[in-house]
Amino acid sequence: MNIGEFQTDRSPSGQKAAMETPLLDVRDLSLRIAGNETPLIRDVSFSVRPGERVGIVGESGCGKTMTGLSILRLLPPIGIAASGQVLFEGEDLFALSPGGLRAVRGRDIAMIFQEPMSALDPVFTVGEQIAEAYRAHFAASATEARARAMDALARVGIPAPDKRYFDYPHQLSGGMRQRVMIAMALICSPKLLIADEPTTALDVTVQSQITDLLRDISERTGTALLFITHDLGVVAETCTRVITMYAGEVVEDAPVDDILLAPRHPYTSGLLRSLPGLSPRRGKLPFIPGRVPSLAAMPVGCRFRERCSHAVPACEVYQRMEPVGPMHSTRCGRAGELSLMGAVH
């Protein structure tokens, strides 16, 4: 695949200096439905360094999409109260004015979504939608914006961009639509791209093309990637670090290689073992029994203990994130004594 360089205004030296401070620093993010005792998301903290590719994994309903949307404050305005801090280059996005937030959206942090068909405006051509994203942040003539949009389409591997520019979303295939979304997200050379289940709605054959594209672009341009997915296999191929979420909490945070070799939370281990590609060839595919508890029936203490084969009475008290290695932390009190199965033996 031919992917050109997305223009970037960050000098290499500046990038190195920024390695010390995180690009994105989410601190104690909680989301609560008004009038509801139990939060949807509780004390989520993690960070993304410049150029880093971080995956957030977990089952449906674990709060990973909510976390992604709340970074750019894209949750529906009514009914959900957020607390905590989302620091982007040291600036709290939750404290920004609407105008200040608009300047960050699409410019510094861009986002792509699960369903490219419903995420694109059906009555505008894809080219217009990409050019518009550019003109929202740069003083550019319509002609210049169009040229840049066609360029962006070419760079995400869309053939004949000068023709596809004038297509409406319904005239393109699912994979092409997601490429359009990626072109739109990258046209302003953002520092961080949040990808919310970008491959879930696509054919399996197209999925890996899209993940490859995202990884290549991130590697070439230094754009950091926050990749939200339920598929640990995709994260293993794309990302350098993994954050596992369960029932609205971060339960493990570690480099990809560490997690594949030796997960330190039983839930992560369960996710890994239920991957078809990584499990033993013969026999039944292992799975995690039960389901994510509902908000109303959220267990006190470790939220995973009712589905956990290692649960002991001590798990009934609140578990905090504790470091278990230089870059590795987990929310399991028994992490020290357990030897959990990873994907690579």
d(CA 135, CA 206): 30
Size of the site for another protein (CB under 8 A): 29
45 CB burial (10 A radius; 0-12, 13-18, 19+): middle
**Contacts (CB under 8 A) with another protein, residues 66-105:** 72, 74, 76, 98, 102-105
Q: Which of residues 20-59 bind another protein (CB under 8 A)?
A: none
Shortest spacing between CB 288 and another protein, in angstroms: 30
List, as one string, the DSSP characters of 319-330. Answer: P--EE-SSS-EE
* Main-chain phi, psi angles of 148, to 5 degrees: -65, -40
CB of 169 to another protein, least distance (A): 9
Please tell me the total number of residues recorded for the chain in this structure.
345
From residue 167 to residue 186, the character string flagging contacts with another protein as x (rule: CB under 8 A) and all else as - is: -x-x----------x--x--
- Residues facing residue 195 across a β-bridge: 112, 227
Least Cβ distance, residue 77 to another protein (angstroms)? 10
Q: Which residues pair with 44 in a beta bridge?
A: 29
- As a whole number of angstroms, the distance between CA 340 and CA 314 comes to 18
Q: How far is the CB of 297 from another protein (least distance, A)?
A: 29
Q: E strand or H helix at 250, and its extent?
A: strand 249-255
How far is it between the farthest Cα atoms of the chain? 67
Pick the closer one to another protein by CB: 101 or 278. Answer: 101
CB burial of residue 64 (10 Å; 0-12, 13-18, 19+): buried
Rounded to the nearest whole angstrom, what is the least distance from the CB of residue 216 to another protein in the complex? 22
CA dihedral 330, 335, 340, 342 (to 10 degrees): 30
Which H or E run includes 228? strand 224-229
Site membership for another protein, residue 118 (CB under 8 A) = yes
Which residue stretch of 108-116, 200-208, 264-272, 337-345 sits at the interface with another protein (rule: CB under 8 A)? Answer: 108-116
Q: Name residues contacting another protein, limited to 270-299 (CB under 8 A).
A: none
**Residue placing its CB nearer to another protein in the complex, 122 or 326:** 122
Closest separation between CB of residue 125 and another protein, Å?
Answer: 8
Among 41, 56, 119, 236, binds another protein (CB under 8 A): 119
Kindly give, in sequence order, each residue whose CB lies less than 8 Å from that of residue 32, ignoring residues fewer than 6 positions away.
39, 40, 80, 81, 82, 83
Under the criterion CB under 8 A, does residue 115 sit at the interface with another protein?
Answer: yes
Window contacting another protein (CB under 8 A); options: 115-123, 235-243, 279-287, 324-332: 115-123
In the numeric block, the tokens 């409406």 are attached to 168
Out of 28, 92, 121, 203, the only residue in the binding site for another protein (CB under 8 A) is 121
Q: Which residues in this chain contact another protein in the complex, by CB under 8 A?
A: 72, 74, 76, 98, 102-107, 110-111, 113, 115, 118-124, 132-133, 136-137, 168, 170, 181, 184
